[in-house]
Amino acid sequence: MEATTIAVDLGKNIFEIAVANESWQVTERHRLSRARFGRFFAARSSCRVVMESCGTAHFWARRLVAAGYEVSLLPAQYVRAYVRRNKTDRADASALIEAFRCSDIQPVPIKSVEHQQIQALHRVRAQWVQTRCSRINTLRGVLREFGIVIPLGPSMAKARVAEALEDAENELPFGVRSSLAQMLEEIRELESRVASIELQLRELTRSDEVVRQLQTLPGIGLLSSTALRAAVVDIQRFPSGRHFASWIGLTARETSSAGRRRLGRISKQGDVYLRTLLIHGARSALVAAHLARRRDRPLHRLQEWALECEKRRGRNRAAVALANRIARVVWATWKYQRAFNGNWTAKAA
């Protein structure tokens, strides 16, 4: 029988391939190097190719689509359940074929070069921000050993560290001052790099209508809008706002059985980076709602709900609940291409 499906377990240098026929029976297996991998597909007729959505998957998917193949990228966490016994490259390739047969597993959209470029900039920025935080904490810990207490906050920390290094009256030994000064300069250089990446993100998405529209939502700025645009690609694959919020990991974890339904904390599944951005954006939206109330400005229904939730459940839980609401608003705004209305109701629609 003719081969209809090719499952590829991707690797850095070695690729495991399983070829299945129309009856989903594996008829061929190959273990190829990177050079032989390209020649393997060049010598075959076009068919379906199934891969996990992991590192380099979108690159190879674009190459194979250009060569005339039909490519499906499956979420790696769902493919894992189809691995039998020990995890090997051979078992992973077979599991891809079994997972592709399940109609409940939806393929991941193939990212374009532009989307991966935006996502790469976010990853680099996140690493630099983490490095800056590590350097500041190191400075704070070293100076505390000599009785110099640095307050919280990056801006205040940089100013106080500079003052401590210039103060000749404190107990800070002169032998470590030059090293700490170099670390302080490194922090400033990292902040300059972070600012340059944000400028690149703004320039790359200036003409993107989806990014521009998302930035009109409460708690959504440049970072959140561009990260969502690069990670989601196609919002139409989510049938509802709850599915979208669940994909990010902002909905409640459920452990139900028989007639008893148990809802716990948020599932924390999906992209940690997106979830972090949305929760931080929700905290900013809460601060904006408090500021509007103090200045006697009119509040829309979403702000009133968030403030009431904060009064009942506390600031942290209210921020997570508001992030859940914002994710659903993002889905509706993106899917239906309509402007945000904080007083919108189903009856008014």
Query: What value does the mean pLDDT take over residues 80-97?
Result: 93
- Which candidate, 269, 256, 236, 345, places its Cα nearest to that of 300? 345
Contact 17, 36 (CB under 8 A): no
Question: Count of CB atoms within 10 A of residue 26's CB?
Answer: 16
Task: Provide the token pair at 176.
Answer: 């470590």
* φ, ψ for residue 86, nearest 5 deg: -75, 150
Per-residue pLDDT band for 256 (boundaries 50, 70, 90) equals confident
pLDDT tens figures, 159-169: 999 989 988 88
SS3 6: strand
pLDDT tens figures, 24-49: 999 999 999 998 998 898 888 888 99
**Tell me, what's the pLDDT at 211?**
95
**Cα-Cα-Cα-Cα dihedral sign, residues 281, 283, 289, 291:** negative
* φ, ψ for residue 238, nearest 5 deg: -100, 120
Query: What value does the mean pLDDT take over residues 332-337?
Result: 93
**Tell me, what's the pLDDT at 171?**
85
Look-up of token digits 């989510």: 238
**Tell me, what's the pLDDT at 346?**
56
Query: What value does the mean pLDDT take over residues 282-307?
Result: 94
For the CA atoms of 174, 176, 182, 186, the dihedral, rounded to the nearest 10 degrees, stands at -140
pLDDT tens figures, 193-210: 999 999 999 999 999 999
Task: Name the E strands within 223-281.
Answer: 252-254, 263-266
pLDDT of 334 > 50? The answer is yes
**Tell me, what's the pLDDT at 85?**
87
Contact 334, 214 (CB under 8 A): yes
**Tell me, what's the pLDDT at 349?**
45
Q: What is the pTM of this model?
A: 0.89
H or E segment and range at residue 195: helix 174-204
